Each structure stands twice: as structure tokens, then as C-alpha cells.
Amino acid sequence: MLLFLCVILAAVAFEYINGFHDAANAIATVVSTKVLTPRQAIALAAFFNLTGALSGTAVASTIGKGLVEPSAITMATVFCGLLGAVIWNLITWWLGLPSSSSHALIGGLCGAALATAGGDWGVLKWGAGLWPKVILPMLTSPVIGFVAAAALMFVMLILLRPARPRFVQQVFGKLQLVSAGWMAHSHGLNDAQKTMGIITLALFTGTQSGIFKEMPPVFGFLNTPTFAVPTWVILLCALTMAAGTAAGGWRIIRTLGHKMVKLQPVHGFAAETTAAVIIHAASSAGIPLSTTHVITTSIMGVGAAKRFSGVRWGVVERIVWAWVFTLPATGLIGYVASRIAHAF
């Protein structure tokens, strides 16, 4: 039971860290374009992250039962997977790098599951889950984000060429409020569900192992005989992510909103709209997409459409290396932690 409580605390910590780590995903552009103050932007992101988190559970099902074999999972496995994700998120947050919380969680869980299964790679659901819903989107979504945002920005630049700069600034200053809200909603819809899936996996594992049987009736809500996300888990994750978002993530906001590309409201609108469409579509299909990858490459695409040299490619290189190392690094942390945990 103590380990279960540790899992819940670790999951809540991950969700909170995810909130402020990924706050920049939704609001970096709206802050950098000075459409909103940082405080206003964070309030907007927190609200729409909350609404997004309350809007579905398809991604949660993928995380909880679509990537690893639930029958091979122990409570220690879940805890070690979360540990890997939390450690990596804190490292990249400290470095100001917008790495993927999604891939951190997936890598940690897969590494821990592999260790629990004694190195049996069959515990990982490659054909039905990891390949179509993690690996393939990981490779394609950044490309789609870059190309789609660049194309949208290119078309908008042509259409807006006759307009006065002041008019464009005013109109898209207002429209960016809509795109930023949609981006935050999409972020909550996809990212908050990942922790829902982890907590539900822990509840399902605990129910199967019988740790809830001798508990007082008041704790009956913990019993989860089938993999279905309980309402209280949805609310817990939604509120925790909103609280984390409200805490802000200034280091990453500076990287995305200032260091990588110089943005104006029209550029922010194009980047956010592109990313929101992609993330929303992925969420509907139950794909745990990296919202970080999508918004970052959308910003790159917008910058490249303006002027290819306008993108600070040195900053981009640092970001890409963080992306490359996320899955193996968190997988290794989860694997080692799980081996240690199951040795006692």
C-alpha cells in the first residue's frame, strides 16, 4: 500500500512538473509577441489546460494498456517509470530545453517494464502500440508541424502583403488569444491524459494484486477491475496540470519565445494554430503525441517561412539533441531503478 501511495505522489508530481515544464508550449509565442503579459498568459493556459484535460481519455488508454503488457507490470514498475520521467523533466527544465514529457514518461515506463520482465522484449507492445502510436508519430509529427506551419505562414504572408502592418498587428493580436487558448486546450487534452493512464494502470495493477481488498469500504473507489479511467483520476490530473501550468516555466518560455525565432502576433497565430490542429487530431486517435515537438517545429516552420536564416539553428540543435536522448535516457533510468527495486 505504501508503494501505491508513492506511485500516486510520483504521478501527481510528474503531472505538476509537466504543467510548468510544458507551460511554454501553449504560451511562449503569446508572451514573446507581447499580446499578453506572462501572468495573463499563464492564467489563460492554466484554464484551457484544465478544459482540455477534462475532455477525453483515449490517450490515457493508450498509455495504460497500449504500450506495455499490463499483466507484467508491478506497482514498483509504475513507480520506477515515473521516476525516470520526473528526473529527466527536471534536468531539461533546468537546462531550459523543451524536451518531451510524453516521451520521458513512455521511455521510463518501457524501461521499467523491460527490467521487470527480466529483459523480455515481448513485454513491449511494438506492433499494436509503440510503433504506430509512439515511434512513427515521433518521427513524422515534427516534420508535419514544420512543413504545415511554414506553408500556412507563407500563404498568410502573401494574403497580408497589401495590409498595413499596424492593422495586421492589431487583428492577429486578438486572433492569437484564440490560437493560444486552443493550443493550451489541445495540450491538456493530450498531455494530462498520460498521467491519467499511469494512475489507472497503478489502480488496475493494485486491484489485480489484491492490495485494496482489506481496506475499509470508504476506499472502495480505488478498486479498478477493468482498465477504465475513474472520474476522480481525471479531475486530479486536470487540476494538477492546471496548477503546474500556473507555476510557469520561464526558462523554456525564453528558449521557445525569444531565443529560437523572433515572433510577431501573426507568426504566433500561425504556429499555435498549426500545432493545435495536429495535437487535437492525434488526441482523438489516442496517440500520445509530443506536444513539445509539434509546437517547437511549428515555430521553426514559421521562422523559416519568414527567412530561413531567421531561425537560430544553434538553439534548434540543442533542442533536437534533447529530443534524441529523451527515450533512451528515461528508459535507462527506469530500467536501472526497476532492477534495483525488484532486487529487494
Residue of 327 and 36 predicted with greater confidence? 327
Residue of 304 and 171 predicted with greater confidence? 171
pLDDT at 129 over 60: yes
Phi, psi at 163, each rounded to 5°: -75, 155
Highest mean pLDDT among 14-28, 134-148, 299-313: 134-148
- The mean pLDDT of 129-141, rounded to a whole number, is 90
* pLDDT digit string, tens, across residues 150-167: 999 999 999 999 999 889
How far is the C-alpha of 86 from the C-alpha of 42, rounded, in Å? 22
- The mean pLDDT of 242-251, rounded to a whole number, is 72
Structural Rg of the chain based on CA atoms: 20
pLDDT at 251 over 60: no
Residue 318: give the domain boundaries.
2-341
pLDDT of residue 79: 93
pLDDT at 261 over 70: no
Handedness of CA 264, 268, 271, 274 (dihedral sign): negative
How far is the C-alpha of 82 from the C-alpha of 284, rounded, in Å? 24
pLDDT of residue 178: 93
**Sequence-distant (≥ 6) Cβ neighbours of residue 61 within 8 angstroms:** 197, 227, 229, 286
Partnered with residue 124 across adjacent β-strands are: 68
Tell me the three state secondary structure of residue 264. coil
pLDDT of residue 62: 92
Number of domains in the chain: 1
- The mean pLDDT of 322-326, rounded to a whole number, is 82
Residue of 64 and 1 predicted with greater confidence? 64
Residue of 311 and 143 predicted with greater confidence? 143
Residue-averaged pLDDT of the chain? 86
pLDDT at 186 over 80: yes
pLDDT at 4 over 80: yes
pLDDT of residue 25: 63
pLDDT of residue 245: 78
pLDDT of residue 250: 57
pLDDT at 316 over 90: no
pTM of the model: 0.86
pLDDT at 88 over 70: yes
- The mean pLDDT of 314-328, rounded to a whole number, is 78
Residue of 263 and 200 predicted with greater confidence? 200
The cell for 314 is 544553434
* pLDDT digit string, tens, across residues 43-64: 888 889 889 989 989 999 999 8
pLDDT at 282 over 90: yes
Phi, psi at 213, each rounded to 5°: -65, -40
* pLDDT confidence tier of residue 236, bands split at 50, 70 and 90: very high
Of 332, 289, 263, the C-alpha closest to 22 is: 289
